[in-house]
Each structure stands twice: as structure tokens, then as C-alpha cells.
Amino acid sequence: MRNKKLKISLQGALGSYSHQACTKLFKNATAVPCDSFDSAIDFVRKGKADKAILPVENSTYGRVADIHALLPDSKLFITAEYFLPVDICMLGTKGSSLQSIKSAMSHPVLIGQCKKFLRINKIRSVAGYDTAGSAKIVAQKNKPEIGAIASKIAAKIYNLKVLNEKIQDNKNNTTRFLIMEKKPKHFIKKEKKVITSILFQVRNIPAALYKAMGGFATNNVNMIKLESYMLGGSFKATQFFADIEGHPEDDTVKRAMEELSYFTTKLEIIGVYKQHSFRYKSE
């Protein structure tokens, strides 16, 4: 019996950077394009896809706000991370040139990664709902003065010309992706170089966050990310998302989590996964 082909949901059209990351991480999977990040998550929840691959932060632009707002309520579990070096291209129709381009369309996150190039070449940016979708629109309009900021794979899919490569401001430009799926029955095996992702809400007492963080310091557990979210439109109720180095079954992590629980009203593990090799190769 042949193995079932994985279905991976992603935001955007085929040819997006999420699609590129998907092809590199899952060699024989079927990419399932979705109109939004929320839809990509919902496809997994409803069983229409096995996993979702979602960009969460970029080394130049910073965090992808939409994703961080969705993570706490996704009801999915983080099972892997992937780092994709992002080479950004200026694309145009077959009859265009870099000099003919007056405006370029792309997702705001990608536009934010090549502001210098756009300024030098006096090209006006136009926000699109995603990178590959912008390339598709430019191909359909077929006007030499309109370009798209996207990937080489998008140029190939939509029959556009690469007018300029590597236009990103930061040549080490990299995007981190999370792979999310329904919660597995068991965590991955205890080993070195594991990340545990958690959600927690601190009690409404003075210095609660400071006290909650104390257990990580005293147990020598490295916290590599801490994000905050407003709850229910209130400026007083706050939820936190954190990535820590270590496995939930490590003694140091256990003690830190026990101490954290004293100062929180909610504490949930939403991911346990191996660190991607990019992290320690770049050390």
C-alpha cells in the first residue's frame, strides 16, 4: 500500500515563499493554497490538510503580526520550525525592464524588506494580499510599468521575467516558519536542542511577570522569545507566548514550569520540537 501524500496548507498562491519553504521541507507533499493565515489553520483543524506551514518572523521586517495574533487560539500544536533564506526578486512582464517599472505590488512584509531598492529606483510600492498572488495579478494585467516583488518560483509559475535578483536590504534576510498540526498523543523524545513553546496568563498581582520569569533564571533555562497579547480588548488582561530551550521532561524545565504555575492563571504547552540546524550553524 502506497503512503498517503501529505497535504500542507499555506497562506497565499502557489509560488509564495511559504510554498517555497514547503517544497524544501516536504519533498513529496501537496501544497494547499489558502486565502488567509486563518484559513490555512482552519484547514488543519477540519482535516482538509495534515499540517500548516506559517511564517512567524523575518530577520529584517520582524514578526508577522497576523500569525502572532492567531497562534494563541489556533488549537494546533507546533511540531517543527524551518528557516528559509529569502532572496527577493523584482519581476515584470516579458516586455518590461527595470527602467519601465513605476510601481511594484507585493505583501507588505516583503515590501518592508526591500525599501532601499524601491527608493533608489523610484518605484512606488502597492500592498497586495500575498507575494505570489501579486505576481499573478501583474501577469494578468500585462503592463510593462507594473512589477511584482516575489520569488523566482513565482516568476516561473506566472511566466514573468526576473528584472533584478536579491533586492532585499539585508543580504542575510531569513524567514522563520512554524509547522503546526493537531496535537500529537506524545511529545517528541527527550534530547538536546529542543524548543518548548508555551502560552501563559499571569495573575493580576504586582510584579507577577517578574516573579513568573524568576524560575527560568534560577534553573538556568534560556528563554529565546517572549511575546505579549491583549485579551478580549482589555488593556489589563495580557497573555504571553514564549519559546524556551529544553524539553518539558528536563528536570530544569520542570522546575521552571512549576514555579511559573504559581504566578499564572493559565499555562499551556503548545509546541515541542527540535531546533532547526540554522540556529546553531549561525552561532
Q: Which residues are catalytic?
A: 175, 177
Which are the contacts of 128, defined by CB distance < 8 A and separation ≥ 6? 105, 106, 107, 134, 137, 148
Hey, CA dihedral for 34, 21, 56, 259, is it positive or negative? positive
Q: Left, alpha or beta for 265 (phi > 0: left; psi -120 to 50: alpha)? A: alpha
Report the distance separating Cα 150 and Cα 135, nearest Å.
Answer: 7
Question: Which residue, 264, 240, 244, is CA-closest to 254?
Answer: 244
Contact 139, 156 (CB under 8 A): no
For residue 58, the Cα-to-chain-centroid distance in whole angstroms is 8
Instruction: Give Cα separations from 4 to 1, 19, 20 (angstroms).
Output: 9, 20, 21
Report the distance separating Cα 132 and Cα 129, nearest Å.
Answer: 9
Report the distance separating Cα 37 and Cα 65, nearest Å.
Answer: 11
Contact 248, 196 (CB under 8 A): yes
